[in-house]
Chain A
Amino acid sequence: MNNKKFKNIDEFGEIVNEHQASVRACIRVLGIPSGFVDDIAQETFIVAYRKFSEFDNSRSIRSWLLGIARNLVLNERRKSARRFRLLNENLTDLMQEEAVSVVEEFQAQEKLKLVKSCIENMPDRNKEVLNLKFEGGKTAASIAVKMQRDSSTIRHLLARIISGLRKCVNEREGLFGS
């Protein structure tokens, strides 16, 4: 049991800031579409704030938060009326074992700092596709129309860009680590 009481909510804000990237990544891995990730992440931190006295100090706070996030996503899976917040129920089933352990090792917060510089060093065309997809919220089909390409080409290009970013971030992480 944990007797810690926050002096004010901003003190809890520091915990949110430190772990939000991992929590949001875990929720995404569990098959929640990007539009609903923040909703569930916010619920996760609200539950954590309410139940902080139940947190066992001997455990890692990240694992505890990821556990809450996972339970909230599985609740979505159980409640039929809420399933619209899932990308695909079967995907959530498939990932429920893997998500927490992968994200725990993933060091999302540290990687987040490197993503920006990796994007900056990307070829302009890739940057444009990424911006259209994530900043502009466009679908692969509408990006395809804009860039006069086939939508399947754009989908594959997006997958390759993300994979390239993973590689770049891992390399930089290795450099900083050494």
Chain B
Amino acid sequence: MSENEQLEDFLSKLISEDLSDADVAQFKELSRDNPEVLKELAETLAMTELVSQTLQEERSSDCFTASVTSSIKAKERSKTRDQKFVDSVKKRIQHENKKKNSSKPNRKTVAKFKKSKKKKSKGKFFFFLAAAAALIISGIVTFMPKKEVQTIPELVILEGELKNGNISYKEGDAVVMGTLLRTYQKSARLKFKDGSIIKVGKGSMFSFNNDSSRKVLLTNGRIDAVITPQKKTPIYFETPFTVAEIIGTEFTLWAENWRDVLVVHEGRVHFRSLHTEKSYFVNGGENTTVYRGGQMVKKRKADEIPPIRRLLLIKRDTGKILQEITKDTTIDFSKYGKDINIVAEVERNVKVVIFVVNGKIVSEEVKARYIPHGNSFANIMPWDPRKGRWSLRMIPYHENGKLLAERKMVLTFK
């Protein structure tokens, strides 16, 4: 291979981000003989970057500049917030110290009391009376049931580990409000007092506000949440650039440097860009991306390639396709008989499909064919459902373990 061909080969692999150590070693040899190739390589990579900035709208100069300035603003805001938190902690400590000191008997008071004790023996009786009264009152105050102040519900770690600097919080630990917490190599699952569960993805950074604003601040990373219905006030999930107002729903929120993505699985979320103050209601099955420049893109999941392509009614013994099942399909036993089953056709990257019928998991299929009522090798089991309406939920997983968009439908058998 000539020098030019070697260079082109290396550049082609580099642009495609498909390099091996051997390729780099070979290029190193080449650059030793001809240092000019390094310049060639640098200029090609720089040009690749410019092409990428030109063709990807979200990487345009304006978007990038807006994202940097918003990020700095958010950091400044969080700095102020942190400072306020430190100040409040300091104040509290000072207050506690004052309280402790005031409860200790003052030397002067004791001396005065001793003097008066000598002078007035009658005062002794009244003093004990007053002291007894004070004790009773303080006892009542101490043991009186306190009115519970509802702020953010307390969080407990169910699984995984969270860190705040060198301090580590593990399974079963309660999370301290207002502390900036991180996950590293593994995700963590946490539970609110009210039963809501959040899963914080690996490499995420977040905190919980300790005031009455009920805010979860996701600085960076991903949160998957199942929030139980909130009776009075919503919980807010805030990133440096957006706020999601949650009344009770299932959703996933990603905060990346250049965009936030909210995927609502169930329910409805009010999603607002802090940059432009524009907001949307995002419903179940929809996702919304907010870019740093404030641009908001709302998509229905149906617009993307669905992992479960279609659902087919088949003849159990022969596997013959009888009809495609859609949302409003009614399966008529008189037409097809009862020796039938259903098969889900999936995208190539789908590895596992979990079938849930009427809220119960009926099968967990790990390889094709994906059939809710099972198959053993080539033989498909019969599914003989009772007449009526059945809810069917299909939950697919990618081969890398990632949860994909599920598909739900109601089947009517008559």
Contact = CB atoms under 8 A, between A and B. Distances in A.
A119 B54 contact: yes
Contacts of B49: 21, 24-25, 27-29, 34, 37, 108
A134 B15 CA distance: 10
Interface in A14-66: 16-17, 20-21, 24-29, 33-34, 37-39, 41-42, 45-46, 49
B24 A88 contact: yes
A129 B91 CA distance: 62
Given A42-B67, A42-B257, A88-B21, A102 B43 contact: yes
Interface bin, chain A: 35 or more
A173 interface: no
B42 A29 contact: yes
Nearest to A131: B55
B51 A119 contact: yes
Interface in B264-303: none
Given A13-B65, A41-B64, A112 B50 contact: yes
Contacts, number: 171
A155 B25 CA distance: 20
A147 interface: no
Interface residues of B, number: 52
Interface in B38-60: 38-39, 41-56, 59
A155 B18 contact: yes
Contacts of A115: 47, 50-51, 54
B8 A156 contact: yes
A91 B24 contact: yes
Interface string A62-101: 0000000000000000000100000110110011001100
A90 B11 CA distance: 15
Contact of B15 (A27, A29, A94, A158): A158
Interface in B73-107: 73, 75-76
Contacts of A102: 39, 42-43, 46
Q: Among B18, B51, B73, which residue has the most Cβ atoms of chain A within 10 A?
A: B51
Q: Among A95, A108, A159, which residue has the most Cβ atoms of chain B within 10 A?
A: A159
A24 B21 CA distance: 24
A109 B257 CA distance: 22
Interface string A143-171: 00000000010111011101101100100
Q: Interface residues of A: mostly helix, strand, loop or mixed?
A: helix
B13 interface: yes
Nearest to A98: B38
Interface in A119-154: 119, 130-131, 134-135, 139-140, 152, 154
A139 B15 CA distance: 10
A163 B44 contact: yes
Contacts of B50: 21, 25, 108, 111-112, 115
B46 A25 contact: yes
A41 B71 CA distance: 12
B53 A112 contact: yes
Contact of A12 (B15, B52, B55, B72): B72
Nearest to B59: A38
B261 to A, nearest CB: 15
Nearest to B16: A140
Contacts of A27: 49
A33 B52 CA distance: 12
B28 A94 contact: yes
Contacts of B65: 13, 16-17, 20
B17 interface: yes
Contacts of A130: 51, 55
A169 B184 CA distance: 43
A104 to B, nearest CB: 11
Q: Among B13, B59, B69, which residue has the most Cβ atoms of chain A within 10 A?
A: B69
A98 B68 CA distance: 27
A43 B153 CA distance: 34
The list of the 6 closest CB pairs from A to B, nearest first, reads A159-B12, A25-B46, A155-B12, A102-B42, A28-B49, A134-B55
11 contacts: A9-B76, A20-B64, A24-B49, A37-B49, A38-B258, A42-B71, A90-B24, A91-B24, A102-B43, A108-B46, A112-B54
Given A34-B17, A38-B59, 19 more contacts: A9-B72, A9-B76, A10-B69, A21-B53, A24-B64, A29-B49, A39-B258, A42-B258, A45-B68, A87-B17, A94-B28, A106-B46, A116-B54, A139-B16, A154-B16, A156-B8, A159-B11, A163-B11, A165-B47
Interface of B: 8-9, 11-19, 21, 24-25, 27-28, 31, 38-39, 41-56, 59, 61-62, 64-69, 71-73, 75-76, 184, 257-258
